[in-house]
Amino acid sequence: MGLFQQACKTYEAHRQQVGKYIVGEEPLAPISHLLTKAQVEITLNAKGEFDSGSKVEAEKSKDKTQNSGDKESKIIIPVTIESANRTSGVCAHPLCEQLKYLAPYDQERYDAYVKQLSAWIDWLESENCPLEPATKKNAKQKLQAVLAYVKGQTILKDLQESSLIKLDSKGLPDNDKTLVRWKIVGLESLESCCWKDRDLFSAWEKYYESLLLQKGQPQGLCMIEGTETVLTTHHPKGVVAVHGNAKLISSNDSVNFTYRGRFTKPEQANTISYRASQESHNALRWVIANQGITLGGNKDTRTFVCWEPLGAKLPRPINPLITRPPEKDSERITPSNYQEKLRKKLNGYSNSLDSLTTAVIAAFASSTTGRLTVTYYRELQASDFLERLYNWDRRCCWPNGKFGVQSPYLAEIVCCAYGTPKENSFECDERLLCQQVQALLACRLDGAPLPYTLVHQLVTRASNPQAYKDSLLLKLQFVACACLRKFYYDKYKEEWPMDLVEPKRLDRSYQYGRILAILEKAERDTYDKEKREPNAIRLQSVFAQRPLYAMKFILERVKQAYYPRLNPSTRQYYERLLGEIMETLSECPEAEREKALKETYLFGYYLQKNDLYTKKTETTEDEE
C-alpha cells in the first residue's frame, strides 16, 4: 500500500473520532471541512438576535506538550472545494466566515455567503434530505438563526459596541479578515457551539455530496480506492502546519513544467476521488499534528511522523526508546541493567500489537511555498519496526554521566558531528540537520551501518577537548562513544562493554586511552580551585597521533610537578595502574607502538576516567 491508501485506512479506522475535540490534540476533520482559527465568537439566541461577542483565546489545557494550546484553538468549519483553496477570488465558506463576507459593505461577497447558506437551509427543508429528523431539526434551527442575524446587517455595529473591532471613518473594520465562529443558545440541542456540533458536520457533508453530483462533477476510477466515483483535481492544502499553503497533490498549473513533459492533462497522471482525497488529507493532517516531529526552521524544515493506521501506539523513530531521564539515583540505568530495561520498553509496545499491525513512517518537506514533498516513506510490520529500533538502541548507546546509559537522539548525533558550539548546545545548519537526520533514520530502520564519515567527524572533535566547554565536551564524548560502539559492531561484530570489565584487553589504542585518563586524573587530584586544563587534555589531539611521544612528555611533567603533591597511597595506586597497562602494551608489536591511535582509544579513555571518578566517590563516602 502507499501513503494515501494508509491514510484512508487510518481515517476509516478512526471514524468515531471524526469531529471530536480532545484536550491537547488536534481534532480529525470530517469530509468537506477544514481546521482553522477564529478570532471572534458571536453568541446568538434562537431567533438570531445578538446576545454577546467575545475574543477567542487559546484554551488552556492540562497537557504540557509543545503547542497544545495552538492545537486546541483550531476549530472545524465546513468548506467547499473552491473556498478551501481560495486566494483572492470571491468564494464563501458555508457557515463560519470572515467579516468581509458577513457584512454588506462588500456586496458581492455578502451576497455569495447569504445565497449559499440559504441554499443549504432549503436542502434541509426538502424531501431529498436523508438526515434523521432530530439531526435535520437541530442543523436547520442553528443555520436559520445565523442567516437571520446576518440578514439583519448589524454585525459591525454589534462588534464595535463589544469593543472587539474598530471601524474607520467610512464604517469599515480595521481587519476584514477576522473570522467569526457562531454559538447558538436557547435551543433544545445539547451542543451550542456550531464548530463542535456533529449534526452540522453531517448535514454539510451530505448536502455537499449531493451538490457535487448535481454539478456534474466528472466521474472515473479512483486510484486510491479502486472504485468508480466522483473525481476531483482540487486537493486540500495545509497537511503540514508549518507549510500552510503547500499541497501534496497539485495539478492547477498547466505551464511552467508542472507535468515535466510527461502528460498533457492532469488526469493522465492520476485520478483521485473527492472522498478519498478528503479522507487521506484529513487523516495525514491529524496524525502529523498530533504525532509528528518537525526539525529545522527558516532555511529548511522537515517533518517526521510514524503511526499505525488502526491506532496502536508506536514510538517516534528519531528518538531513542528510553527517553525519560531518571528522577532518582536508584532508577539510573547502568550498563548491567540497560538491556533489561530496553527489552521491557520494547515489550510494552509489542504487547498491544498483533501480527498484522503495520508501522508507517514518512518525512515531509516543502520544495516550494506551494508544493509539499514526501522525502522518505517506509512501511514495516510493526514487530520488525520495534525490533529495529531496539537493535539500534542496544548498540548505539553509552553511559551519559548522571543520566546513566542512554542512546543519543538522531538530531543530537548530527549536531555534535556538524554543529557549531554555542553556549550550552551545538547549533547545526537547518538544511544539513534535516538531511542528515533523515539519512540516520534510514540507517536505523533499514539496519544499515553508520557512515564512517560521521563517526570519524565525531571522534576527531572528541579528540580536541580544548575547543569546547565542559558540558559540551561531555555530550560530545557520549555521542562519539555511542556511535563508535555501533560502528564497530556493524563492521567488525565487536560488542564493546560499557564499563571497565576488560582491563587487560589486547588493544593498543584502548590501553593508551586508559593511560591518558589516568594522567589527567592524577594531575586534577592536585588542583584546589584551579580551572586550567591538565596536560593530558591540552595534548590529547597530539596523543591520538603520536601516543608514545605524548605519553612520555605528559608523564614526565606529571611526575615532576604533581606526583609529589599526591598522598603516597594515591600515588602508588596510579603507579600500579600504569604498570599493569604498560605490561599489557609490551605484548603489542614494537613497530606499532608509535603509530597513530585508532578510534577505540576513546573507549579506554572514557571507561577508565569513569571508573576512576566512581571509585573516588565511593572512597570519599566510605571515609565520611
Question: Per-residue pLDDT tens for 271-283?
Answer: 899 999 999 999 9
**What pTM was computed for the model?**
0.89
Helix (H/G/I), strand (E/B), else coil: 307: strand
Specify whether 131 is located in the same domain as 159: yes
Say what the pLDDT of residue 65 is: 40
Specify whether 211 is located in the same domain as 229: no
Say how far apart CA 272 and CA 270 lie, in whole Å: 6
The CA radius of gyration of the chain, in Å to the nearest whole number, is: 32
Say what the pLDDT of residue 536 is: 92
C-alpha cell at position 59: 484554551
Say how far apart CA 581 and CA 586 lie, in whole Å: 9
What confidence category does residue 623 fall into, taking pLDDT thresholds of 50, 70 and 90?
very low
Specify whether 319 is located in the same domain as 419: yes
How many beta carbons lie within 10 A of that of residue 242, not counting itself?
16
Nearest of 508, 436, 8 to residue 223 by alpha carbon: 8
Does 345 reside within a domain? Answer: yes
Does 162 reside within a domain? Answer: yes
Instruction: State which of 231-235, 244-248, 287-291, 369-373 shows the largest mean pLDDT.
Output: 287-291
Say what the pLDDT of residue 452 is: 94
Length, in residues, of the chain: 624
Domain tally for the chain?
4
Quote the crossing angle between the two packed helices 470-492 and 601-623, to the nearest 10°: 130
Asked whether the predicted pLDDT for residue 616 surpasses 60, the reply is no
Does 63 reside within a domain? Answer: yes
In contact, 235 and 174? CB cutoff 8 Å: no
Does 285 reside within a domain? Answer: no
Say what the pLDDT of residue 266 is: 74
DSSP state of 565: G
- Of the residues 215, 244, 268, the one at which a domain ends: 215
How many beta carbons lie within 10 A of that of residue 360, not counting itself?
25
Nearest of 302, 271, 72, 54 to residue 163 by alpha carbon: 54
Specify whether 80 is located in the same domain as 52: yes
Specify whether 207 is located in the same domain as 221: no
Say how far apart CA 239 and CA 361 lie, in whole Å: 15
Specify whether 205 is located in the same domain as 273: no
Which residues form the domain of 158?
31-215
Specify whether 343 is located in the same domain as 466: yes
C-alpha cell at position 62: 492540562
pLDDT per residue as tens digits for the range 192-205: 999 999 999 999 99
| Strands 179-184 vs 40-44: parallel, antiparallel or unpaired | parallel
Say what the pLDDT of residue 188 is: 87
| Greater pLDDT, 426 or 85 | 426
| Greater pLDDT, 117 or 219 | 117
| Greater pLDDT, 623 or 102 | 102
- Of the residues 237, 258, 280, the one at which a domain ends: 280
Specify whether 298 is located in the same domain as 268: no
Of the given ranges (64-68, 252-256, 385-389, 433-437), which has the lowest mean pLDDT? 64-68
Does 458 reside within a domain? Answer: yes
Does 286 reside within a domain? Answer: no
Say what the pLDDT of residue 140 is: 95
Q: Is 191 exposed, middle or buried (0-12, 13-18, 19+ CB in 10 A)?
A: middle
Specify whether 321 is located in the same domain as 404: yes
Asked whether the predicted pLDDT for residue 260 surpasses 70, the reply is no
pLDDT per residue as tens digits for the range 300-344: 899 999 999 999 999 999 999 998 666 566 577 889 899 999 999
Specify whether 478 is located in the same domain as 560: no
What confidence category does residue 62 fall into, taking pLDDT thresholds of 50, 70 and 90?
very low
Specify whether 68 is located in the same domain as 166: yes
Say what the pLDDT of residue 617 is: 47
Say how far apart CA 502 and CA 549 lie, in whole Å: 25
Asked whether the predicted pLDDT for residue 591 surpasses 90, the reply is no
- Of the residues 498, 533, 556, the one at which a domain ends: 498
